[in-house]
Amino acid sequence: MKPVEGLVISDYVEIYDFELEAYTLVHYEGLTTDEAAVRMNLSKATFWRILEQARFKLAKALIERKPIT
């Protein structure tokens, strides 16, 4: 495996379990945000905030070439 130029292992983006679950339900399992909020037993507003946090963190990791943990 070829190393990624500029990658600093100590500088990473941390995604929490609940953020990954929200992202997975919508983007991998294909649930609507309403369905996913029910599945996680959250209000729609709280679910949406968590999903947006996950999206932002993943985008940051990709754009800034940071590892994800």
Consecutive sets of 10 residues in the chain, 69 residues long: mean pLDDT of each? 62 95 98 98 98 97 93
For residue 52, the one-letter residue type is E
Q: What is the pLDDT of residue 4?
A: 64
pLDDT value of position 49: 98
- HEC readout, the chain: CCCCCCCCCCCCECCCHHHHHHHHHHHCCCCCHHHHHHHCCCCHHHHHHHHHHHHHHHHHHHHCCCCEC
Can you give the pLDDT at residue 8?
57
- pTM for this predicted structure: 0.82
